Amino acid sequence: MADDINSLEILDAVEEGDMVHLTALIVAGVNVNACDDTGWTALMMSAQAGRADMVRVLIAGGADVNAADELGVTVLMAASSGGFGDIVQTLIAEKADIHARDHRGTTALMWASTEGRSEVVRTLLDAGADVNARGESGYTALMDASGKGHADVVRMLVEAFADVDAYDKNHLTALMLATMMGHADVVRVLIDAGADVDMRGDGGYTALMEASSSGRADIVDLLREAGASG
């Protein structure tokens, strides 16, 4: 096995996108799990860059599919955030932990939902990802997608039985977050899914109050049509 200093060459090969050099290093016995000072491995870098070819070669060479950096970010999270569905499928097939969490309690499903990666969200849900897992602040994947305005992902999560009335540490629900950010299409999806339109966050504010104060007449109409009274 090559020593750790020389093993860092494998990170350079990935960064440079040099498949020939990468393959040669693996054949030479370089440590495929060598990492930089933040804990990133060649496999993590390849997954983040969307290099499915490098991912396959590294895994075949013994790369750890559950490697995580100093913040707990895993290979699967890197691929999920980037929306690289083929890599996500490969990692899941190689037993990557779909329930792993980073230092904020964020899962791969939350990463994908935040970025609106609908294909990856579907893959993770089909693989058994916990749709109602909560991060450190109490956020769920549904809250992440709702606040970012990813209506297609919100619809997928709702269909997978996400709790539409779950709330974070500030008692904010997905509906409130969508309203605050002005995402009328998401508000409609959540209302159709049965979200409680009269739930109150810290300070007693409801989604209707938020929509009214921010001048979002379209959302006010949606909420009133759904029976909002507060």
Q: What rounded mean pLDDT belongs to the chain?
A: 95
Q: Secondary structure of the chain in the HEC alphabet?
A: CCCHHHHCHHHHHHHCCCHHHHHHHHHCCCCCCCECCCCCEHHHHHHHHCCHHHHHHHHHCCCCCCCECCCCCEHHHHHHHHCCHHHHHHHHHCCCCCCCCCCCCCCHHHHHHHHCCHHHHHHHHHCCCCCCCCCCCCCCHHHHHHHHCCHHHHHHHHHCCCCCCCECCCCCEHHHHHHHCCCHHHHHHHHHCCCCCCCCCCCCCCHHHHHHHCCCHHHHHHHHHCCCCC
Q: What is the pLDDT of residue 6?
A: 62
For residue 1, is pLDDT > 60? no
pLDDT, average across residues 12-41:
95
For residue 204, is pLDDT > 70? yes
Q: What is the pLDDT of residue 203?
A: 84
Note if the pTM is more than 0.85. yes
Q: Which of these ranges, 59-73, 79-93, 100-114, 201-215, has the smallest mean pLDDT? A: 201-215
Q: What is the pLDDT of residue 4?
A: 54
Q: What is the pLDDT of residue 48?
A: 97
Contacts of 2 (CB under 8 A, 6+ apart): 25, 28, 29, 30, 31
